Amino acid sequence: MLEALDLECVRGERRLFSGLSFTVSSGQLVHLSGENGSGKTSLMRILCGLHTPYNGSVRWKGRPIASLDEDYHRDLVYVGHLNGIKDELTPLENLAIATTLSGISADADRRFDALSAFGVAACADLPVRYLSQGQRRRVALSRLALADDRPLWILDEPFNALDSTAVAQLRQLLSAHVGGGGMVVLTTHLDLAVEGVETQGLNLDLHGSAA
Amino acid sequence: MIRTFNCVFRRDLMLALRRKSEALNTLVFFVIVTSLFPLGVGAEPNLLREIAPGILWVAALLAALLSLGRLFEPDFADGTLEQMALIGEPLPVIVLAKIAAHWVMTGLPLTLLAPVIALQFDLRADIIGLLFLTLLVGTPVLSLLGAIAAALTLGLRGGGVLSALLVLPLYIPLLIFGAGAAGAAGAGLGGEAHLLLLGAFLLISAAISPWATASALHIALD
């Protein structure tokens, strides 16, 4: 279980949110929403351990993530605003490096299948710099297709730049992950309806400095 | 950990080879600077022999500075650095692999090229050999110390200048002992003591730099 306890985030002179607490249990999806600048990305980075909250703490399986460090990261997949892929490498090479570093066992066939799941198998051997923004996003998201054993997925605007086909593919993947007992925290400005998935909505505007 | 080190090391080498022009910039800069000096100061063999070690070391140091910006900035800009920070392996291991790849693509080529460049300064073979050894031991220190400065200035506007200001005081002892070794050998004193001191710098910086750099990267990512 992931627990956010009394989180407060301050960036520069501005308090983005305070008193924010929620839990994410097995088989649950949390949909974070809020206006631009409400602190969604900051919250995602706090949940990952990339950003330190001004107050409060995040706990994973009952222990603060700061004390777990690498053990927490082995249970986590994070897809941020930035795709985290290299323009000079091909999608297959990017995926091979990402899986090797994350300790995900995936041979070349599985990696190709993951790209196929997001409809980018045709450009698997092209350098990423030749791909469109949507295709790059698909390559970044294809890591999810190989990370079904990672219980916690934290996804920052995963639907950005995706067409309707890719949105449907991602919804299907989210549904399978949560259905299999996984946890997902994501931000999106889309209306999120994933079939058969228990979704908890969380609006950051209600916890902002103006609230 | 070894798997992570190998993967990051090979990845960075692969990326450097795909961006050949950037990798060659450092080498071309080194060749240009060292080749212009004999033209500028005149063809007086004794003077050239005397100043050659200093010129080669200063050029190597400036070339290393020139390449520091590429150590973390591209990965920071495209989000791969934050992915690396979340892979479940200690960040110092990743940092060490990146520094090793940086040295292989910048410091090692300079070191291998230096004996050829040294010929135009009419240096004796034994002094060329010693100069090669000082660069072989000293250039990894340039990468190790440079990594700390590159990480501390990551994402800052004008980070390149700030990085140079931070790292130059740390480079000065290297410059003194690196260039001084050849001078001492030329005077018949032997350069072993200088070489040993460079070795000590290498050990100390290898022990400290990965952890210091990783801490600085955590701050930059926060």
The DSSP line for B115-184 is HHHHGGGT--HHHHHHHHHHHHHHHHHHHHHHHHHHHHTTT-TTHHHHHHHHHHHHHHHHHHHHHHHHHH
Residue with tokens 């990783």: B214
Which H/E stretch holds residue A152? strand A152-156
B7 and chain A: CB distance < 8 Å anywhere? yes
Residue of A nearest to B17 (CA): A88
Residue of B6, B83, B215 to mutate, interface with A, max A Cβ within 10 Å: B83
Residue of B3, B17, B73, B86 to mutate, interface with A, max A Cβ within 10 Å: B86
Instruction: State how far residue B86 is from chain A, nearest Cα, in angstroms.
Output: 5
Query: What residues contact residue B30 under an 8 Å CB cut-off, 6+ apart?
Result: B59, B60, B63, B110, B113, B117
Instruction: State how far residue A184 is from chain B, nearest Cα, in angstroms.
Output: 17
Instruction: State how far residue A128 is from chain B, nearest Cα, in angstroms.
Output: 12
Interface of B with A in 86-125 (CB under 8 A): 86-90
Q: Tell whether the model's pLDDT for residue A209 goes beyond 60.
A: no
Residue with tokens 């994070």: A78
Instruction: State how far residue B77 is from chain A, nearest Cα, in angstroms.
Output: 8
From the list A73, A88, A98, which residue is nearest B15 (CB)? A88
Q: Is A123:A131 a contact under the CB 8 Å cutoff?
A: yes
Amino acid at B2: I
Give Rg (Cα) of chain B.
18
- How does pLDDT run across B43-93, given as a tens digit for each residue? 788 888 888 888 999 999 999 888 888 899 999 999 999 998 888 778 899
B20 and chain A: CB distance < 8 Å anywhere? no
CB contact under 8 A, B7 and A97: yes
Q: Is B32:B113 a contact under the CB 8 Å cutoff?
A: no
Say what the ipTM of the complex is. 0.81
CB contact under 8 A, B79 and A80: yes
Which residues of chain B lie closer than 8 angstroms to A74, CB-CB? Answer: 88
Q: Tell whether the model's pLDDT for residue A79 goes beyond 80.
A: yes
| Domain chopping of chain A, boundaries | 1-75+151-211, 83-149
CB contact under 8 A, A50 and B80: no
CB contact under 8 A, B87 and A102: yes
Specify the DSSP class assigned to residue A121: G
B221 and chain A: CB distance < 8 Å anywhere? yes
Residue of A nearest to B88 (CA): A70
Pick from B203, B168, B194: which is nearest to B53 by CA?
A: B194
- CB-count exposure of residue B110 (10 Å: 0-12, 13-18, 19+): buried
Instruction: State how far residue A77 is from chain B, nearest Cα, in angstroms.
Output: 8
- Average pLDDT taken over every residue of chain B: 88
CB contact under 8 A, A73 and B88: yes
Bridge partners of A156? A187
The mean pLDDT of A146-169, rounded to a whole number, is 86
Residue of B nearest to A48 (CA): B86
Residue with tokens 């986590």: A76
pTM over 0.90: no
- CB-count exposure of residue B69 (10 Å: 0-12, 13-18, 19+): middle
Q: What is the pLDDT of residue B92?
A: 92
Q: If pLDDT is split at 50, 70 and 90, which confidence band does A208 have? A: low
Range in A148-152, B11-15, B153-157 the model is least confident about: B153-157
The mean pLDDT of A174-182, rounded to a whole number, is 86
Token pair recorded at residue A190: 């889309």
Token pair recorded at residue B11: 């990845």
Domain A1-75+151-211, CATH homologous superfamily name and number: P-loop containing nucleotide triphosphate hydrolases (3.40.50.300)
Which residues of chain A lie closer than 8 angstroms to B85, CB-CB? Answer: 50
- A187 φ, ψ (degrees, to nearest 5): -115, 140
Range in A6-10, A135-139, A197-201, B71-75 the model is least confident about: A197-201
Q: Tell whether the model's pLDDT for residue A210 goes beyond 50.
A: no
- How does pLDDT run across A88-123, given as a tens digit for each residue? 999 999 999 988 888 877 788 888 888 888 888 888
Q: What is the pLDDT of residue A195?
A: 66
Q: What is the pLDDT of residue A207?
A: 64
Amino acid at A59: R
Q: What is the pLDDT of residue A206?
A: 66
Pick from A210, A211, A207: which is nearest to A22 by CA?
A: A207
Q: Is A173:A183 a contact under the CB 8 Å cutoff?
A: no
From the list B78, B80, B222, which residue is nearest A50 (CB)? B222
CB contact under 8 A, A82 and B18: no
A42-58: buried (b, 16+ CB within 10 Å) or exposed (e) per residue? bbbbbbbbbbebeebbb
Specify the DSSP class assigned to residue A154: E
Specify the DSSP class assigned to residue A200: E
Q: Tell whether the model's pLDDT for residue B170 goes beyond 80.
A: yes
Tell me the DSSP string of A27-82: TEEEEEE--TTSSHHHHHHHHHTSS--SEEEEEETTEEHHHHTHHHHTTEEEE-SS
Instruction: State how far residue A33 is from chain B, nearest Cα, in angstroms.
Output: 22
- Give the Cα separation of A29 and A51 in Å (integer): 22
B127-155: buried (b, 16+ CB within 10 Å) or exposed (e) per residue? bbbbbbbbbbbbbbbbbbbbbbbbbbbbe
CA–chain centroid gap for A103, Å, is 18
Q: If pLDDT is split at 50, 70 and 90, which confidence band does A211 have? A: very low
Q: What is the pLDDT of residue A120?
A: 86
| Domain chopping of chain B, boundaries | 2-221
Which residues of chain A lie closer than 8 angstroms to B79, CB-CB? Answer: 80-85
- How does pLDDT run across B94-116, given as a tens digit for each residue? 999 999 999 999 999 999 999 99
pLDDT over 70 for what percent of chain B?
100
- Give the Cα separation of A106 and B6 in Å (integer): 17
Instruction: State how far residue A84 is from chain B, nearest Cα, in angstroms.
Output: 4
Interface of B with A in 29-88 (CB under 8 A): 77-80, 82-88
The mean pLDDT of A72-83, rounded to a whole number, is 88
Residue with tokens 């990845």: B11
CA distances from B173 to B41, B99, B177, B199, B212 (A): 25, 20, 6, 12, 20
